[in-house]
């Protein structure tokens, strides 16, 4: 297992949920699960042509403007800019999950795992769609595993699996949680086995060293 154990599915944690334009059928632009698409985002949120609505019902709200701007910065690899934009979105509306979720992604990309963990942990107590809640749980479980916090990682994958079971609309990957728990169990067993072998090696080395010292003393007396 590598330090980044989920490279094959890391795109899940970083994938954007498609941001619906105002013309999308039956979904206003401010729906809880709406997120700007990374590569095909609409015109910048501060464009003069963008329809504005502080409530996010007939147009884009200040909150979503900052989220869109942050996602655009993230895709452009301007991680500090993305962090600043997501933090501003949270200031605009600290009750919503999306800003914290995106901030966690940007923090992790910047190498600040502690801040990513804090953002995602906070996100769980905020308002958001079931699918987004599942993504946050996935990110936290993956992060615990990267940190090699095996017991915490196992429990986090269990929480992710339980949430998917209780919330069928969340989608997600229930099989992934089961497989990761198996991998963690194997890793823990391997580490215990290696620790036992290492202890025996250290003990044998100490015995050889002691024997060598005793032989050296005998040779000195026999001279």
User: ∠ CA 51-22-85 to the nearest 5 degrees?
Assistant: 65
Structure token pair of residue 105 = 């992604």
What pLDDT shows up at residue 49?
53
Distance CA 125, CA 131 (A): 15
Per-residue pLDDT averaged across 131-148, rounded? 96
The angle subtended at Cα 93 by Cα 26 and Cα 49, nearest 5°, is: 55
**Total-model pTM:** 0.65
Calculate the alpha carbon distances from 190 to 1, 84, 93, 98, 187 in Å. 11, 42, 46, 38, 5
d(CA 14, CA 109): 10
Show the domains of the chain with their CATH numbers. Answer: 7-221 (1.25.40.10)
pLDDT at 142 over 60: yes
Mean pLDDT of 42-62: 60
pLDDT (tens digit, 9 = 90+) per residue, 74-93? 999 999 999 999 999 999 99
- Given a cut of 70, whether residue 211 has pLDDT beyond it is yes
DSSP 60: B
Count CB atoms within 10 A of the CB of residue 186.
Answer: 11
What contacts 24+ positions apart, CB below 8 Å, involve 84-90?
89/63, 89/64
pLDDT at 114 over 80: yes
Confidence check: pLDDT of 98 > 90: yes
């Amino acid at each position: 297992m590598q330090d980044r154990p989920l490279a094959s599915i890391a795109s899940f944690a970083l994938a954007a949920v498609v941001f619906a334009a105002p013309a999308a059928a039956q979904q206003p632009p401010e729906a809880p699960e709406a997120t700007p698409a990374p590569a095909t985002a609409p015109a910048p949120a501060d464009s003069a042509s963008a329809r504005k609505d502080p409530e996010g019902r007939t147009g884009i709200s200040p909150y979503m403007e900052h989220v869109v701007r942050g996602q655009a910065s993230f895709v452009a690899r301007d991680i500090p800019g993305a962090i600043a934009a997501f933090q501003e979105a949270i200031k605009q509306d600290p009750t919503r999950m999306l800003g914290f979720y995106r901030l966690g992604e940007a923090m992790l990309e910047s190498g600040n795992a502690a801040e990513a963990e804090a953002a995602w942990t906070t996100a769980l107590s905020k308002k958001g769609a079931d699918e987004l809640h599942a993504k946050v749980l996935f990110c936290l479980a993956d992060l615990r595993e990267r940190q090699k916090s095996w017991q915490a990682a196992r429990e986090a994958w269990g929480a992710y699996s339980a949430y998917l079971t209780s919330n069928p609309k969340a989608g997600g990957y229930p099989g992934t949680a089961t497989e990761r728990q198996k991998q963690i169990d194997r890793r823990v067993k391997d580490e215990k086995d290696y620790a036992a072998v290492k202890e025996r090696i250290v003990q044998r080395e100490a015995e050889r060293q002691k024997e060598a010292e005793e032989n050296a003393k005998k040779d000195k007396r026999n001279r």
